[in-house]
Amino acid sequence: MAKHKHEEHENHERWLVSYADFITLLFAFFVVMYSVSSVNEGKYRTVSESIKAALNPVVSAPTSKLAFTIGTAKPTTMHAPVDAKEPVIRRLRAIMKSLKETTGLELIEMIEHASGDLIITVPDHVMFNSGEASLRHEALPFLKALSDVLIELDRQVRIEGHTDNVPIRTAQYPSNWELSAVRAVMVVRVMAELNGVPANRLSAVGRADSVPRTDNLTPESRAKNRRVEIVLLAEKTALPQAHDALGREDAANAPSFLDDAAGADVDTPAPPVVQ
């Protein structure tokens, strides 16, 4: 007897297999994504902490006197003295530039030495007439502007008078030593008495021709040696216990130029003879 074949019915539930495979793949996909995101989060935290440490370091003692912070942190107000070295240098350069219209001021030089001293060199004809120690009116605006900066800068200032090697023999100045010393004292007195620079930060020195910038063989080289140097000493440098190159009594008897500098039409007395 022949066997009867069962009729095959169409399976309408085969989609469940595909759906199960899809769910499995989707589960695997989310597992992989979660693991990758966890690694990235860890790396992000590491990088973030490194950036924060670089931008906001914890410092036990201040390494700079400038009051500023990096990043979004609020600036901290610092009451310690501000290191005004660079701003002062920029201001001094600006002063010289603004006063170039005055005769000879374009010849002024400013050099900063490795020791920290700042030396401003002024040719003698900018401040004085030949063989004289009375300040010219053209020099007063420069000295006033310079003094305003020196008042803010807590440095000792030494004024040095220099001459060439040509001897001078007059009743007022027996030699170049007296001439260079009196010139330095004149500059000191203007800064202290007219412009308000603290006197205990000023000193005057007469060098004569003992410290030439160059040889004295030509008129041009001798002109370079005739000068006044305003030396802003390094902050840790202390001045010797001396009032000026002539001494207290001689400085007190130095010629009066204050009325003349203020604009009064008076004659300036001759400087004293230094014995």
CA 206, distance to chain mean position in Å, is 28
Find the Cα–Cα–Cα–Cα dihedral 56, 57, 62, 67, rounded to 10°. Answer: -10
**Position 252 in a domain:** yes
Tell me what pLDDT residue 145 has.
86
Shared domain for 118 and 207, answered yes or no, is yes
Tell me what pLDDT residue 199 has.
95
Tell me the pLDDT band of 47, cut-offs 50, 70 and 90.
Answer: very low
Give the end of a domain, one of 67, 82, 97: 82
Tell me what pLDDT residue 275 has.
33
**Position 271 in a domain:** no
Tell me what pLDDT residue 127 has.
92
Which has the higher per-residue pLDDT, 157 or 90? 157
Shared domain for 105 and 63, answered yes or no, is no
Shared domain for 45 and 91, answered yes or no, is no
Shared domain for 240 and 104, answered yes or no, is yes
- Dist CA 174 CA 32 (whole Å): 99
pLDDT at 198 over 80: yes
Which has the higher per-residue pLDDT, 65 or 196? 196
- Of 122, 127, 152, the residue nearest 138 (C-alpha): 127
**Position 268 in a domain:** no
| 237-256: average pLDDT | 49
Shared domain for 46 and 172, answered yes or no, is no
**Position 23 in a domain:** yes
Tell me what pLDDT residue 131 has.
92
**Position 272 in a domain:** no
Instruction: Specify which residues 109 forms β-bridges with.
Output: 121
**Tokens 């300036």 — which residue?**
268
Q: Helix %, strand %, coil % for the chain, to 5?
A: 40, 10, 45
Shared domain for 211 and 256, answered yes or no, is yes
Tell me what pLDDT residue 257 has.
46
Six-digit token string for 205: 């020195």
Tell me what pLDDT residue 135 has.
94
| 27-46: average pLDDT | 65
Shared domain for 192 and 141, answered yes or no, is yes
Shared domain for 20 and 97, answered yes or no, is no
Q: Per residue in 19-40, is it b (16+ CB within 10 Å) or e — as a string?
A: eeeeeeeeeeeeeeeeeeeeee
pLDDT at 230 over 70: yes
What is the CATH classification number for the domain harbouring 225?
A: 3.30.1330.60
Structurally, how many domains does the chain consist of?
2
Tell me the pLDDT band of 41, cut-offs 50, 70 and 90.
Answer: low
Structural domain including 32 reads 10-82
Shared domain for 105 and 241, answered yes or no, is yes
| 130-139: average pLDDT | 91
**Position 5 in a domain:** no
Contact 156, 239 (CB under 8 A): yes
Shared domain for 54 and 100, answered yes or no, is no
Six-digit token string for 121: 């060199």
The set of residues, in sequence order, having a beta carbon less than 8 Å from that of 197 and lying 6+ positions away, is 147, 150, 151, 157, 191
Contact 262, 162 (CB under 8 A): no
Give the end of a domain, one of 82, 113, 145: 82
Give the end of a domain, one of 29, 53, 82: 82
Tell me what pLDDT residue 163 has.
97
Contact 153, 232 (CB under 8 A): yes
- Mean pLDDT (the chain, rounded): 72
- Dist CA 194 CA 158 (whole Å): 17
Asked whether the whole model's pTM tops 0.85, one would answer no
